[in-house]
């Protein structure tokens, strides 16, 4: 039978942990609301810009000369795994690391790999591996703003343009809802031409001024920066959703554990009282028999 003092200490410890998980859940919920609003407002603009760009570039003569769309033999690959700076968010970080590691070991096995981790968890993981590391943007989530993020996007775009990499892959959690985040390995560069049957049948004819080529030159870099920013916003919202869910589960588990511990405490206390009564009765009987 457990000691009463030990059970009481355990109850106090679990109660303290439950208070912490409740507080973390509330903080995550507040941050999630802001992050969710950002990604929801961002998506329609990003999707429409990409659709217009695909429409215009598909009809442009010499559109294959767009530097960011040039297909090369894949020998040098840049991986950009996007995680959080902190833990306590379930499998959020481990899912990204597992997906990135799987891609590196299967699809890109034998290629020259460089990793540009975003988020302290990804940086801590990949700095222990043998891959060359670009660690300048590991703490990007300290300031999730377009002006800050676009610096990282421009670095990646310039490296691709200079021929340092033949392909750039983003690995991140796409935000669906509070309870659902989908891990994606998305080709960032070169630009993939994703033209569905619906987009071909509903293709519109745009009046382009001053020229189609000039618009492409202006739209492509901005579209890529927005795509990179969208991945960061997706990951940011997914992190808070995952942490909120994890802390909610932790709070529920603490509550269940408290019920069990209180039951053990009451049974132990009842057993101790019963033993004391038996000892008193036995002592009284011993006194009577001695008389």
Q: What is the pLDDT of residue 275?
A: 85
Structure confidence by residue, pLDDT tens digits, 193-206: 665 444 455 556 66
SS3 166: coil
In the chain, pLDDT over 70 holds for what percent of residues? 88
Q: What is the pLDDT of residue 233?
A: 96
In the chain, pLDDT over 90 holds for what percent of residues? 65
- Distance between CA atoms of 53 and 204, rounded to whole angstroms? 12
Q: What is the pLDDT of residue 47?
A: 83
Q: What is the pLDDT of residue 242?
A: 95
Q: What is the pLDDT of residue 124?
A: 95
Q: What is the mean pLDDT of the chain?
A: 88
SS3 134: coil
Cα atoms in the Cβ-side hemisphere of radius 13 Å centred on 76: 10
Q: What is the pLDDT of residue 62?
A: 45
Which residues does the annotation mark as catalytic? Answer: 89
Sheet holding 76-81, edge to edge: 112-115, 76-81, 167-177, 180-189
- Distance between CA atoms of 244 and 175, rounded to whole angstroms? 13
Q: What is the pLDDT of residue 187?
A: 93
Structure confidence by residue, pLDDT tens digits, 188-236: 999 876 654 444 555 566 676 777 777 777 788 988 999 999 999 999 9
- Distance between CA atoms of 108 and 113, rounded to whole angstroms? 8
| Residue spans of the chain under pLDDT 70 | 1-2, 53-65, 193-206, 208, 291
Q: What is the pLDDT of residue 46?
A: 84
All residues at 6 or more sequence positions from 185 whose CB lies less than 8 Å from its CB, including other chains: 99, 100, 103, 169, 170, 171
Predicted TM-score (pTM) above 0.95: no
Q: Domains in the chain, start-ordered, CATH in brackets? A: 21-246 (3.40.1380.10)
Q: What is the pLDDT of residue 188?
A: 93
């Amino acid at each position: 039978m457990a000691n009463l003092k030990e059970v009481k200490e355990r109850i106090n410890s679990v109660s303290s942990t439950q208070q912490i998980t409740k507080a973390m859940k509330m903080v995550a919920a507040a941050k999630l609301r802001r992050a969710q609003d950002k990604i929801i407002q961002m998506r329609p603009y990003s999707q429409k810009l990409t659709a217009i760009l695909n429409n215009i570039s598909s009809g442009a003569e010499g559109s294959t000369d767009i530097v960011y769309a040039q297909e090369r033999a894949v020998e040098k690959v840049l991986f950009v795994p996007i995680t959080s700076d902190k833990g306590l968010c379930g499998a959020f970080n481990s899912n990204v690391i597992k997906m990135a590691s799987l891609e590196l070991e299967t699809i890109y096995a034998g290629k020259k790999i460089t990793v540009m981790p975003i988020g302290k968890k990804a940086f801590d993981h990949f700095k222990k591996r043998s891959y060359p590391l670009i660690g300048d943007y590991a703490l990007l989530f300290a300031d999730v703003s377009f002006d800050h993020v676009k610096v990282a996007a421009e670095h990646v775009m310039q490296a691709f343009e200079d021929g340092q990499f033949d392909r750039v892959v983003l690995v991140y959690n796409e935000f669906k809802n509070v309870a659902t985040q989908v891990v994606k390995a998305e080709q960032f560069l070169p630009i993939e031409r994703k033209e569905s049957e619906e987009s071909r049948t509903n293709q519109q004819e745009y009046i382009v001024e001053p020229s189609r080529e000039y618009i492409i030159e202006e739209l492509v870099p901005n579209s890529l920066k927005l795509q990179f920013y969208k991945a960061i916003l997706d990951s940011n919202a997914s992190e808070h959703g995952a942490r909120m869910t994890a802390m909610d589960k932790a709070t529920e588990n603490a509550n269940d554990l408290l019920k069990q511990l209180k039951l053990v405490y009451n049974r132990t206390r009842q057993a101790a009282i019963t033993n004391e009564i038996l000892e008193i009765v036995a002592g009284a009987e011993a006194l009577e028999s001695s008389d």
